[in-house]
Amino acid sequence: MVCLGNICRSPLAEGIFREKAKEHGLKVKVDSAGTSAYHEGERPDRRSQQVGRKHGIDISQQRSRRFTKEDFAAFDRIYVMDIHNYEDVIALASTPEEEQKVDLILNIIHPGENRTVPDPYYDGHDGFEHVFKMLEDSCEIIVKEMLAQKPKN
Ligand code: 4NP
């Protein structure tokens, strides 16, 4: 889960996705990062922590880090929040296979529309709640898709 600062949107996406995976019994590694290092080492924005807590999701232990080229090898899917994140992440890809791992997270619920998860950094609490809801809808579908694709043993 990738955004610009890794303090508002992607920490929530990470927390929500982890919770949904747990709920549905999907074992998966999930992490988040920012395309910038502006907030490296910081906890998520207080407002993201609050909206998470309101919905039973604790993201307080997360720390901001920058997305690196190594993340392409470490993860099968890379979900970005907006088109700027997309361009910044794609610029670090070395192969078409790596590029194909990257998608806008809202394309999960609005296929092909390239919608943006709005940056709530300069908004009030309503912005964070709005972001929470759209991430929740997307994460629910991603988890179900992954479960459907899981090889049966
Ligand atoms: P995020 O939000 O990308 O959702 O973490 C932002 C946080 C900080 C800044 C921009 C966006 N900033 O410019 O410091």
pLDDT tens digits, 4-17: 999 999 999 999 99
Does the annotation count 3 as an active-site position?
yes
Q: CA–CA separation, 70 vs 118, rounded Å? A: 27
Ligand 1 contact, 28 CB (< 6 A): no
Asked if residue 108 has pLDDT above 70, the reply is yes
Token pair 């998860």 in the structure block, residue: 117
Calculate the dihedral angle through the C-alpha atoms of 18, 23, 24, 29, rounding to the nearest 10 degrees. 20
pLDDT band at 153 (very low <50, low <70, confident <90, very high): low
Domain of residue 106 covers 2-149
More confident residue, 126 or 68: 68
Q: At what angle do helices 125-149 and 46-54 cross, to 10 degrees?
A: 60
pTM score above 0.85: yes
Does the annotation count 115 as an active-site position?
no
CATH code of 131's domain: 3.40.50.2300
103 forms bridges with which residues in the sheet? 79
Q: How many domains does the chain have?
A: 1
55-66 confidence digits (pLDDT tens): 999 999 999 999
**Ligand 1 atom, smallest distance to 3 CA:** 3
Single out the catalytic residue among 8, 9, 18, 47.
9
78 forms bridges with which residues in the sheet? 102
Between the CA of 71 and the centroid of ligand 1 the distance, in Å, is: 20
